[in-house]
Amino acid sequence: MKRHVLSTALAATAAALALGLAGCSSGTSAETADASDGIRIVASTNVYGSLAEAVGGDFASVTSIIDSPDKDPHEYQADGQNQLSLSKAQIVIENGGGYDDFVDTMLSAADNSEVTVLNVADISGYDQEPASGEFNEHLWYDFPTMQKLVDSLVTELSALDAGDASVFQANGESVKAQLATLEAAETDIKATYSGSGVAITEPVPLYLLEAAGLDNRTPDAFSEAIEGDTDVPPTVLQEALALFDSHAVKLLVYNEQTGGPQTDAVIEAAKKNGIPAVGVTETLPDGVDYFGWMKANLDAVSAALGQ
């Protein structure tokens, strides 16, 4: 799967980046947390960075390595500044599950033995190697897992700064209340549209769609090929297109950050048949936090199903 491409691309460069740290200015960019800024947290993406900021508040300084939808997590090339941030981090949040292996590669070269690593795939408690061999690593669309991540953040922040533990606890409860509101929105969709068929290009939003009671009818071979950046077999593509021609689905949800002829084909098939299409991303759009982003996703799904 293409989720594993990052580690191989970076393995050859991690050592060189580590050597380059000696020549980096100790000074600093706005992206590098100074000790006076609070507990130093580095997140692999701004999705987890947003949650860390909400829990840490004024007592944490958060750096997000991938901080824009313009940066494709699957093809990301880290740099010396990222390595420097990781070398100074007290807490690192990585998705795990093969999604952001570059973090582990860079941490191994950072010589930071004191860092606490929060691996969201491990925190989720989900079996990462089921009999099928498939694991949906897009865990930030799974609100119960985000609740667990918040609990882990509160615990680790409180251990590092016991004097402000009550603040972290209060912030954590506030974040969990907002997550509960998002889960309630899923329940509302389920109450009206449970069992409705949907199609996807990749399993990016699948946790959310399933929690909302929607039935993913996409051929597994189609979404696996799109996610793995391989050609979709012609018969599988025809099977996917038939979902729209037969109106077997009420909605298409596609990943805006990846594309290609097969993705374009299903988007066009949805359009031709009057079936709404909703785009989602793997990282936060500019100017919005995690909660606003997820509310917008849920609102878009609900509105599209109501058409």
Here the CATH number for the domain that contains residue 271 is 3.40.50.1980
For the chain, what is the radius of gyration of the CA atoms? 20
Residue 187 lies in a domain: no
Domain boundary (181, 212, 229) is at 181
130 and 37 both lie in a single domain: yes
Last residue of a domain, one of 128, 151, 181: 181
Residue-wise pLDDT for 195-251, tens only, equals 999 999 999 999 999 999 999 999 999 999 998 889 999 999 999 999 999 999 999
Q: Which of 2-11, 42-51, 199-208, 271-280 bottoms out in mean pLDDT, i.e. has the lowest?
A: 2-11
Average pLDDT score over residue span 72-93: 85
Q: Are residues 149 and 228 in the same domain?
A: no
C-alpha distance across the termini of the chain, in Å: 35
Only one residue has tokens 């099928």, namely 132
21 has a pLDDT exceeding 80:
no
Is 149 in the same domain as 223?
Answer: no
Looking at the domain assignment, is residue 164 inside a domain? yes
Same domain, 156 and 209: no
More confidently predicted of 9 and 186? 186
Are both 95 and 215 inside the same structural domain? no
Say whether pTM exceeds 0.85. yes
Can you give the pLDDT at residue 195? Answer: 98
Lowest mean pLDDT among 132-136, 148-152, 276-280: 132-136
User: Where are any strands of DSSP class E within 165-298?
Assistant: 197-200, 215-216, 251-255, 277-280
Same domain, 138 and 245: no
- Does residue 161 fall inside a structural domain? yes
The pLDDT score that the predictor gives to residue 273 is 98
- Are 141 and 206 contained in the same domain? no
pLDDT band at 68, cuts 50/70/90?
confident
More confident residue, 303 or 111: 303
Output the pLDDT for position 179.
98
Number of domains making up the chain: 2
Residue 267 pLDDT class (50, 70, 90 cuts): very high
Does an H or E element contain 302, and which? helix 290-305
- Is residue 211 located within the same domain as residue 287? yes
Instruction: Give me the domain span that covers residue 285.
Output: 194-305
Last residue of a domain, one of 181, 213, 232: 181
Q: Are residues 176 and 217 in the same domain?
A: no
Residue 111 placed within a domain: yes
The answer to whether position 222 is within a domain reads yes
Condensed to tens digits (0 to 9), the pLDDT of residues 32-58 reads: 344 457 999 999 999 999 999 999 999
Q: What percent of the chain has pLDDT over 90?
A: 74
pLDDT tens digits along 172-182: 999 999 999 99
Question: pLDDT at residue 264 above 90?
Answer: yes
- Shared domain for 97 and 145, answered yes or no, is yes
Residues 150 and 200 in one domain: no
Has residue 189 been placed in a domain?
no
Q: Are residues 135 and 68 in the same domain?
A: yes
Q: Does residue 110 belong to any structural domain of this protein?
A: yes
Residue 170 is assigned to a structural domain of this protein = yes
For position 157, what pLDDT does the model report?
Answer: 98
Token pair 């506030």: residue: 174
Distances (CA, A) of 135 to 169, 222, 231, 284: 31, 16, 20, 22
